Amino acid sequence: ISCTKTRQFYGREGYPFRSLAARRKGGDMIQDNDTLQGLIDVVQGFVKERLIPNEELVEETDEIPGDIIDEMRQMGLFGLALPEEYGGLGLTQEEEVLVSLELSKTSPSFRSVIGTNNGIGSQGIVIDGTKEQKEYYLPKLAAGEIIGAFCLTEPSSGSDAGSLQTTAVPDGDDYILNGTKRFVTNAPQAGIFTVMARTDLETKGARGVSAFIVEADLKGITLGKKDIKMGQKGAHTCDVIFENCRIPKKNLIGGKEGMGFKTAMKVLDKGRLVIGATCVGISERMVADALRYGMEREQFGKPVAQFQLVQSMLADSQAEILAAKSMILEVSRKKDLGEDVTLEASCCKLFASEMCGRVADRCVQIHGGGGYIRDYAIERFYRDVRLFRLYEGTSQIQQLVIAREMIRRAEA
């Protein structure tokens, strides 16, 4: 579908994908194949005609152009994973990963624009929020009217998230929030933060943590300077500092103290599947670029893709991409059936992100010296994808989660 067609599609039909959830036939994980395929086609066209041609601009300016963000809003991309009753597209997990995979065949910063509203910046409310919290915030997030961000990590608590030190102390109808959150994706653009803070100051571990919705324009919130990152230009992170910030008690997620760590973990179970899909999408793009290069670049009188040592890099990458994609789809279906997928989601994040790193490395190798030069997108992707093995839980944290769950299930 061409971009012009994409616009006509939306212009003529409004938001045709709004009806996806309504068409679900009891228990179907793919709710309506034609509508889903329509959405995927439109996203493919958008990536090809709008995002890929702007990758270099984003790299140079460290900004996503405003007109692209507007188009994302019009397409409903901010609400892919949000329930239809709150203005989202209501995609199932399987559908969401299929769409994310297409959206990731370009610079990952583009997906990051809509990533937090569909994931870590909204899911705390979707999973554990009260009816009032959902009704008030989710429609704004689904429409892309506000950006949601997730504040878990702190200067001295990263992997050991349960040891966080930010405090929320009750005071009349409010809590008073104090602490610093680190590496907060989309913080500079955020309208609300999901903040994990300690309400039980006597308990050191995860049990004393609660989750709050904090509006970004409250007094007592300041942002640190924008982090200068290795890659993913255009996706911004920074510190968020709370100093005697007063938040109304009604913004305690779920209205219950001590549940915040579990809320954060459930959010991450979902996030880890979507990051896995992102790794698959960008790996497919890197291999497509490397294959094209290998078929054009001649050495020793023939295209380098004809040499078996290059073919082994292409073939290994293709096989690993298929493996990652298959496991992510399988686990997504399980999640849609309501099964506990903590172990499986970590397997997906671990395998897909490590696979993506290997694919990036091989694709640089196939490009030869050209792979180290800015003229080729692979130089940028090589830096961009390094983050996948770190955020939403490092590979080592995924290994820890997997092994713990194996033991827990064996004991049960």
Taking CB under 6 A as the rule, which mask of x and - marks residues 264-303 in contact with ligand COS? Answer: -xx-xx----------------------------------
Binder among 153, 186, 210, 251 for ligand COS (CB under 6 A):
153
Number of residues that bind ligand COS (CB under 6 A): 24
From the list 52-60, 202-210, 231-239, 347-355, the region that binds ligand COS by CB under 6 A is: 202-210
Q: Which is nearer to ligand COS, 138 or 206 (CB)?
A: 206
Contacts 24+ apart (CB under 8 A), 217-221: 217/191, 218/245, 218/246, 218/247, 219/245, 219/246, 220/177, 220/244, 220/245, 220/246, 221/245
Q: Which two tokens stand for residue 380?
A: 């940028």
Among 63, 298, 392, 411, the active-site one is 392
Q: How far apart are CA 345 and CA 331, in angstroms?
A: 7
Interface positions, 330-369, toward ligand COS (CB under 6 A)? 342
Residues 320 and 111: their CA atoms lie apart, in Å, by 22
Dist CA 145 CA 164 (whole Å): 30
Q: Does 246 bind ligand COS (CB under 6 A)?
A: no
**Which of the ranges 101-109, 137-145, 154-162, 307-315 carries the binding residues for ligand COS, by CB under 6 A?**
154-162
120: contact with ligand COS by CB under 6 A: yes
Contacting residue, 7, 18, 134, 262, with ligand COS by CB under 6 A: 262
List beta partners, residue 343.
Answer: none
Residue 207 found at the interface with ligand COS (CB under 6 A): yes
Q: In the set 47, 113, 206, 247, which binds ligand COS (CB under 6 A)?
A: 206
Asked if 64 interacts with ligand COS (CB under 6 A), we say no
Beta bridge partners of 154: 157
Least Å distance, CB 239 to ligand COS, is: 14
Instruction: Supply φ then ψ for residue 2, to 5 degrees.
Output: -75, 165
- Residue with Cβ nearer ligand COS (345 or 377): 345
Interface with ligand COS includes 127 (CB under 6 A)?
no
23, 76, 96, 103, 335 from 32: Cα distances, Å: 6, 17, 13, 20, 18
Part of the chain binding ligand COS (CB under 6 A), chosen from 24-32, 210-218, 263-271, 282-290: 263-271
- Residue 13 bears catalytic tag: no
CA distance 400 to 350: 11
- What ranges make up the beta strands (E) of 236-380? 237-248, 298-299, 302-303
The CA distance from 412 to 409, in Å, is 5
Applying CB under 6 A, the residues found at the interface with ligand COS are 120, 150, 152-153, 159-162, 205-207, 261-262, 265-266, 268-269, 342, 391-393, 397, 400-401
Which residues are identified as catalytic?
392
